[in-house]
Structure 1
Amino acid sequence: MTKQTVYANPWFSVLQDGQWHYVHEENSENGALVLCFVGERLVLVRVPRAAHSKELWEAPRGYGEPGESAEVAAARELLEETGYHVSAEDMELLGRVKPNTAILTTAVNVFRCRLPADAIPVQGDSDAPALNEVSAVALFGEDDLRGMITNGELTCGITLAALMIAKVM
């Protein structure tokens, strides 16, 4: 049997290949997650996630635009979601995360960038709050992150995997 699309929307398609079904996200190949450190603190965004009926803390991330490099997507997503400006050239590629290899073709590029401890986000450059993409932006130190992971406040699998990659790189 050949692959066939059994469902599609603007963000993803569900494909059937014989007995297997899996999800393909068209624009994930050049999408990105950004671990942005302001001094020693990590920038996280609070995002409404309908699938979990709650808001979750996550690293900024998003799809790439057609023809856009992953580095440019990383810089754009960081600016849109947080107001922090970092050039694409200052994005350090750490690796890629495949969040669920059983049912997703998705591979997310993981970038790290660093800003001085006194960096301030550019006000008015983020569309995310108006689009209900982000409800809060905050900085967290290592002890804060450890506590958030321990108490179940930080559960985003892609963010947790990215933090592990950053730790070993």
Structure 2
Amino acid sequence: MDANLIQISTTLLARGWMLATAESCTGGMIAAACTDLAGSSQWFERGFVTYSNEAKTELLGVSAGLIATHGAVSEPVARAMAQGAVAHSRAQVAVAVTGIAGPTGGSADKPVGTVWFGWNVNGTVTTATRRFDGDRAAVRQQTLAWACERLMTLLEVASGNKPEK
């Protein structure tokens, strides 16, 4: 069991907040990890698996024009996914991931292993990108781990327990 997920659950429960996930390249892995914890229904509201561009638009309200302009794997789309997950749920907190897990699909400016993240913590949206090494399974597992690690840090900042890095 991931220590970050236990801390996330404790922090969300203490704040009375719910979590939603918006996942593309991980295909629901973050939601599955959350619901592996007994009692997660008290803090996990829902998960959106928006693998296709159409799903991002239909389920999360991500603008098709935004995707056309920047690509699905981009900061604006990760931001819009995190905002859409909160807007289309009863959650106050969301984590969104969109990336290229491989082994194909990469390009010179977006190589395999590129992942954009978005977090929405009670209306404050932050984004980041990472480039992970390894095969498809390794990229997806690292995406899950980093999404949760950074979410825990952002929740601590929102709770006033930790200065932002």
Say whether the fold is shared (TM-score over 0.5): no
- RCO comparison, higher one (Cα < 8 Å, 6+): 1
What TM-score, normalized to structure 2? 0.25
Which structure has the highest helix share of the two? 2
| Higher CA-based Rg | 1
What TM-score, normalized to structure 1? 0.25
